[in-house]
Amino acid sequence: MTGKTHTSCGLLVGALTIEYYQTDLFTSITIMTLAVISSLLSDICHTQSKVGRRFKVLSFLVRILFGHRTFTHSLLFLSIISILLYFIQTPEYYLVSIILGLLSHVILDMLTPRGVKLLYPIPLTIKFPLVFKTGGLVDLSLAGALSIGALYVLFKSFFNNLFLSF
């Protein structure tokens, strides 16, 4: 999937986390930021990705050490990040937004023909039975739908009041 699709899904993850935890404005902005960044973070292994271009040296090193869609797209990576966040006593709403952002990236990439090495270091490619071309019409449509979903969740009370007034 493209960076736009991952970002859209990160926005939805952030919006749902905010909705669930009913956070204040500062915490909500932080949750949204963490969810979007974490939804892009797995592509640090791809030097031409949004995050890879920002951290070129780190991206290059991760790519050389692990390859693309391997370690950073695995349950092992998710587990290590979860454990680290738990041990540094990350507030639950931040931990949830980060882990779900990372997980959303992996799930979206499982919708592509290339799939991911979900069980890394076991060299087994995991993908869904129905896959879509990265950058294709389905990818673009999914990005739009996820963005609309995020906007709805964030402004649900406004939309409900607007539609109930008719």
Classify residue 35 as exposed, middle or buried by CB count within 10 Å of its CB (0-12, 13-18, 19+).
buried
Enumerate residues 6+ apart whose C-beta is below 8 A from 11.
32, 35, 36, 146, 147, 150
Q: Is residue 22 part of a domain?
A: yes
Q: What is the mean pLDDT of residues 73-99?
A: 97
Q: Is residue 24 part of a domain?
A: yes
Q: What is the mean pLDDT of residues 53-80?
A: 94
3-state helix, strand, coil in the chain (%, to 5): 70, 0, 30
Q: Is residue 47 part of a domain?
A: yes
The pLDDT value given to residue 157 = 84
The pLDDT value given to residue 152 = 94
In the chain, the percentage of residues whose pLDDT exceeds 90 is 87
Which pTM was predicted? 0.91
Specify the number of domains making up the chain.
1
Q: Is residue 128 part of a domain?
A: yes
163, pLDDT greater than 80? no
pLDDT tens column, 7-27: 999 999 999 999 999 999 999
Q: Is residue 2 part of a domain?
A: yes
pLDDT tens column, 93-151: 999 999 999 999 999 999 999 999 999 999 999 999 999 999 999 999 999 999 999 99
User: Is 122 strand, coil or helix?
Assistant: coil
Q: Is residue 164 part of a domain?
A: no
Q: Is residue 166 part of a domain?
A: no
Mean pLDDT over the full length of the chain: 94
Range of the domain at 72: 1-159
Q: Is residue 165 part of a domain?
A: no
Among 62-66, 115-119, 139-143, 160-164, the least confident range: 160-164
